[in-house]
Structure 1
Amino acid sequence: MSRFSSKLFQIVLLMCAGLAALVTPSAGAGFIQLDGAMDVKTRFSEGCSTAQELAEEAKQKGIDVLFYNDSARNSLEYGLVPLERILKKKEERSSVLSVGANAYLSEIGDLDRHYREVLLIPGVEAMPFYFWTGGILKRDLVANNFDKRLLIYGMETAPALEQLPLLNSNFSKRMIGKYQTLFSIYGGLFLFSCVLIYKRFYRKLSMGAAAVFFLLAVNNHPFQSSPYDQYHGDQGVEPYQKMIDRVKEQGGMTFWNRLDALNGMREVGSVQLKTLPHPEDLVLSKGYDGFQAVADQPLPHVDPGQEWDQVLGGYLSGERPGAVWGIGTNDYRCAAEDGKILGMVRTVFLVREKSREGVMEALKKGRMYAVRQPDADRLSLDDFTVSDVTTGQVATLGEEISVSDFPEIRANLRSLHGEPKSATLRIVRNGAVVKEEAVNLPYEMVWRDVEVPREGPVYYRLSAWVGPTDHLVANPVFVRFVAPSAEVASLPPSGAVPPGGPKSPSMPRPPSVSMPSVPSPGMPQAGMPSAGGTAMPRQPGMPGVSIPSVPQPGMGEGYSVVTLVDSVPLKKGPGTIFPDVVRVDKGTRLEVVRKTTVRFNRKPWLVVRWEGQNAFVWEGVVQTE
């Protein structure tokens, strides 16, 4: 009888365990992973292949989702002020709007219905703004910021694409309010001159005036495509914010692309194109959905404590309406161009079913990770979750969870085809590295963060790398803490801010766009304002392994600067309202990584290296060595 009771007890235990497995929520339950290739161009713009040829190649390479991102408009226009829109030279290359948005969308839509193995999603790459410096006579004409680009998805009607706020683009009624004043003035003067001609009052002079005012009225017509022009200098982040806001109004999504600007200087005919690295735009702009986090080389703005973490901290503190997500983009034009292969960089989506709607939902909610693969045996993140061991609640990429105890983090990393590899795995919490270790794949991690201060919301994100050409970046999981006696809410929609606003997290807040005053080198050190922050330390005992840094354009051999005054603050961002990393003495030598596009008193903020990490210093308090 006792043996029977013991056997029955074991059966009951097994049944209970099975039932618990069924009812305990799992972040991976019901999700499948789809490989996506983003930022692929066809013959509609700079690509060498047709949309169908790319779809066929994607099918052969096992790519599940192909995102087309042909240039919305690809043109340069230079005119003579004040008749710059009439007396002009324009160079335009093939693009979606020059060929026809209807043709572009129709072709991809027809192919998508034909190819069941690959989901084909149309998008565009927008270059909202550039500005001229130099001149034709001196032969030093430069188009600045031409390669500052945004990827746009979810705007799949021709009228929506045709009304994007781009320079040198389609007629639009949206800018009438901005341009109607000048148009009305010149139009009124033209009509007045016509009256004088009719009255035969100084007829020749009136005819000349009428011709001039007519040309000025035409030049300043109110049906412009953009509220900006390329003749009045740098407009900062405003033209890009205008594009982000416009896309958001139409229900689309925007992603910053090519923030590293590795091809910073290039030529088109006799004109130079100049675009400096601009990761600070992640902080200066708002309302966008994400950015390029994985490219052919590691990107510094995804390093711990850099721009991505500053933006995520702003979301946690309630200063930003939503989180921003990392994606992997290819910038793929032609086979083997610059060594590129279709699908070398992939964005892997977690979806319930293989459908366009499922992929777009995952893209919107951040349920994805990005990976760069040197071959078919890429890194695969089979699981990354945060759970509450008390309640059994689980959240995965892009989701948010409420916990009443120390959160438990799980990760499952392997090479896709099982080849043995050694990798480094890193967990970042609120911009600081809290766990980093060298592992052999496949590897499963179960780790409980018992050192987290359970006072405000936090996030965890994961990155892993075998080398600079074989690395992975995952989107964050958000955690807020509740009292053990409180009722633990179910997972809110991704991107939602907790009711009443979350408490301020432990990491520094991101800055506002305005730039405070910075003292000149001759001012005493007490005049240098400081946000009073400090760099976020690593947890003790973590190995000091980091992704190899990538040389940035504009960084010459041996290019360094020396501080001119004592107590010069090295900042965590391009502005004095960012917290200090450290203060250095007069005569300190700093290696320059690059110049930023943020300027004060006509001098830019510089990105410099200090003890193995990036920091920012104003050019006004240093001199070239």
Structure 2
Amino acid sequence: MIRGMIRPALACAGLAVVLGVAPEPADAREARPFQRQPLVVAIHVHSTFSTGSLTVEQLAVEAERLGLDAVALTDNLVLQYEYGIFPLRGVVRAVFSLPSVLGAGAQAFLTEVADVQRRHSRILLIPGVEVTPHYYWTGSVFDQTLTMHNSQRNLLVLGLSSPDDYDALPGYGNTATYRFGWESALNLVPGLLFIPAAWLWRLRTYRSAHVGPLFYRATRRYRMAAACLGGIAAGLLVNAWPFAQPLYSPYDSRLGYQPDQAVIDAAAARGGVVLWSMPEARDHSVHTFGPVGPVTVETRPYPEALILTSRYTGFGGVYEDNRTITRAGEIWDQVLGAYLAGQRPTVPVMAGEIAFHGPGQDEKTLDRVVTVAWSRERTPAGVLEAIRAGRVYAVQRAKPDYRLRLDNFRVECEDGTIDAGSGETFPWAGCPLLVRLRVSATDEGSHPVTVTLIRSGRVLARATGQTPLEHVVMEPAGFAGAVSPVGGPTGSGREALFYRLEVKGEGGGELLSNPIFVKPVMRDS
């Protein structure tokens, strides 16, 4: 049976007396989260460099107006889709493209971000891109069953500072990462047409005739036909450019997450923050794809990506679409448990995504979904470091005049000697554990909320009240963990665990924290 005690804020002082804990001043508790500044960040924002309707400058102005601290730009690295007819797929093909970072030039993108940053020092601008690692085709153009899969299975890559870093990302359409292979030879097949074209250019035929005493000889040349044939060859070669091939074919449906892992590895090797973008969002539509005709575009939810890939920084856990993986005991908790068990090297950090393309799009505003980062410094590097460390929480605002705010969320010993917050690991030597939390609203008003404390994938405590809402949860001394205790290397008999917080507000408002880890250590003798 899961044991825990939970008391509302009005009873905190009395609870402290009962437990023998001296109540610390509220101001001290609220100021303690890492002694770092909370920065409000909008993640997943598009500008006119790709599919957004606002320039980088206009986004900075809008962020200033809304009181944001930072904007993480995620313009599309490349937006290019193509379909070719077998066996000359690279030659007889239709290509559809939209503006993108590589289309404009990565250097131009970075320069614009830096220039706007100098003019708007109040807002931190973090350069980044949205990458489509791979898509593939099924069906046939001839019976109008053609379907493009996974064009919206995307990764967000933040913080790359060099054009070379962007050129190295093997997203589909990034020709800098293409290679030459036997398929490239097929793209050169139209060049063979230059041989008959040259022959026709040189070809002459003669006709001779006698008219009375006169002899006529007519010469016929075929240069018009040669020019036409050469033009066709040149046109097909231009259409086949570049002759190199992507690392992963868009006609191969068996690749799984191999292309995605390649992008993750390339970005991580260059110091980028990599987030799985909206892993449970659905995309299904039908479009006319030029001469190809009607094409079904479909991306199914991909929550399994959190399990089947590694080395990524985190994922979008709060966004305006269907979400289940952050529920107690679901995929996120399973992956966190695998990390504690030593089966995964990194912690998947949860962040919020706004997927902002411009005002008026689905009535979105730039601040409707934000990520609050407890940053050591007010710089883009400080924000990225906080995301990597998991010192962030995500908020979805439902009301225009306020959003929920996490003032305090910490695990500490009953005597207050050791504590830890989101993204940190608490070294547990067996003392009684206290979990402190405080939730308020940015307008300092009173609003209904339901607070759920999750311990290692199971609901430990739940309470409903009005903001500001403060709770203390106590785990008794000798508590062994969320499941059956197992003896680890410490021989402590206690099991590592984690705590995380979920808050539901009125009208669909929501707040999710990242976990605090508790790992047992040997008690000093």
Q: TM-score range by the shorter chain?
A: 0.7 to 0.9
Alpha-carbon distance in 1 for matches of 2:397, 2:151 = 29
**What's the CA shift for 1:352?**
2.5
Alpha-carbon distance in 2 for matches of 1:254, 1:38 = 12
Classify the secondary structure of the residue corresponding to 2:164.
helix
Contact 1:27 1:385 in 2 (8 A): no
Alpha-carbon distance in 2 for matches of 1:243, 1:415 = 39
Alpha-carbon distance in 1 for matches of 2:35, 2:277 = 31
Q: How does 1:202-351 map to 2 (within 5 A)?
A: 223-224=244-245, 226-267=246-287, 269=289, 270-297=294-321, 299-351=323-375
Q: 2:48 aligns with which of 43, 46, 49?
A: 43
**What's the CA shift for 1:268?**
5.4
Alpha-carbon distance in 1 for matches of 2:301, 2:354 = 18
Alpha-carbon distance in 2 for matches of 1:39, 1:441 = 29
Contact 2:151 2:299 in 1 (8 A): yes
Q: 1:428 aligns with which of 446, 450, 454?
A: 454
Question: Residues 274-328 of structure 1, C-alpha deviation per residue, up to 9 Å, x if partnerless?
Answer: 0111111111111110001101246211001111011111111111111011100
> Hey, what does 1:613 align to over in structure 2?
none
Relative distance call for 1:396 and 1:222 in structure 2 (3 A) is farther
**What's the CA shift for 1:483?**
3.3
> Hey, what does 1:134 align to over in structure 2?
139
Q: TM-score, normalised by structure 2?
A: 0.78
Q: How does 1:450-529 map to 2 (within 5 A)?
A: 450=476, 451-453=479-481, 455-467=494-506, 469-485=508-524
Q: 1:441 aligns with which of 464, 467, 471?
A: 467
Alpha-carbon distance in 1 for matches of 2:356, 2:275 = 17
Q: How many residues align?
A: 445
> Hey, what does 2:106 align to over in structure 1?
101
> Hey, what does 1:399 align to over in structure 2?
424
**What's the CA shift for 1:484?**
3.0
Is 1:414 paired with 2:440? yes
Bigger Rg, structure 1 or 2: 2
CA RMSD, 1 decimal: 3.2
Higher relative contact order, chain-length normalized (CA < 8 Å, sep 6+): 2
**What's the CA shift for 1:262?**
3.2
**What's the CA shift for 1:234?**
4.0
Relative distance call for 1:63 and 1:380 in structure 2 (3 A) is same
**What's the CA shift for 1:409?**
0.7
Alpha-carbon distance in 2 for matches of 1:440, 1:18 = 22
Relative distance call for 1:102 and 1:260 in structure 2 (3 A) is same
Q: How does 1:160-199 map to 2 (within 5 A)?
A: 160-172=165-177, 176=179, 179-180=180-181
Alpha-carbon distance in 1 for matches of 2:407, 2:53 = 35
Question: Residues 89-137 of structure 1, C-alpha deviation per residue, up to 9 Å, x if partnerless?
Answer: 1000111111111111110111112212110111000011111011111
Relative distance call for 1:268 and 1:52 in structure 2 (3 A) is farther
Structure 2 stretches lacking a partner, 5+ long? 1-21, 196-232, 482-492
Question: Residues 140-164 of structure 1, C-alpha deviation per residue, up to 9 Å, x if partnerless?
Answer: 2111111101100121211211221
Contact 1:35 1:349 in 2 (8 A): yes
Question: Residues 518-572 of structure 1, C-alpha deviation per residue, up to 9 Å, x if partnerless?
Answer: xxxxxxxxxxxxxxxxxxxxxxxxxxxxxxxxxxxxxxxxxxxxxxxxxxxxxxx
Relative distance call for 1:339 and 1:263 in structure 2 (3 A) is farther
**What's the CA shift for 1:49?**
0.8
Contact 2:278 2:317 in 1 (8 A): no
> Hey, what does 1:378 align to over in structure 2?
403
**What's the CA shift for 1:421?**
1.1
Relative distance call for 1:142 and 1:410 in structure 2 (3 A) is same
Quick check: 102-111 or 442-451, which moved more? Answer: 442-451
> Hey, what does 1:369 align to over in structure 2?
393
**What's the CA shift for 1:267?**
3.0
Alpha-carbon distance in 2 for matches of 1:445, 1:351 = 25
**What's the CA shift for 1:477?**
0.6
Is 1:155 paired with 2:160? yes
Alpha-carbon distance in 2 for matches of 1:399, 1:320 = 17
Contact 2:187 2:243 in 1 (8 A): no
Contact 1:75 1:168 in 2 (8 A): yes
Alpha-carbon distance in 2 for matches of 1:320, 1:239 = 20
Alpha-carbon distance in 1 for matches of 2:162, 2:511 = 34
**What's the CA shift for 1:452?**
4.6
Alpha-carbon distance in 2 for matches of 1:221, 1:62 = 45
Letter matched to residue 151 of structure 2: F
Relative distance call for 1:360 and 1:182 in structure 2 (3 A) is same
Contact 1:69 1:124 in 2 (8 A): yes
After TM superposition, what 4+ stretches of structure 1 lie above 4 angstroms from structure 2?
Answer: 17-27, 179-187, 218-223
Relative distance call for 1:337 and 1:19 in structure 2 (3 A) is closer
Contact 2:500 2:515 in 1 (8 A): yes
Structure 1 stretches lacking a partner, 5+ long? 1-16, 195-211, 487-625
Question: Residues 7-51 of structure 1, C-alpha deviation per residue, up to 9 Å, x if partnerless?
Answer: xxxxxxxxxx99999999984252111111111111111111111
Relative distance call for 1:25 and 1:61 in structure 2 (3 A) is closer
Relative distance call for 1:139 and 1:18 in structure 2 (3 A) is closer
Letter matched to residue 43 of structure 1: T
Relative distance call for 1:50 and 1:33 in structure 2 (3 A) is same
Contact 1:25 1:394 in 2 (8 A): no
Percent of matched pairs sharing the same residue: 30
Alpha-carbon distance in 1 for matches of 2:406, 2:455 = 18
Alpha-carbon distance in 2 for matches of 1:88, 1:327 = 39
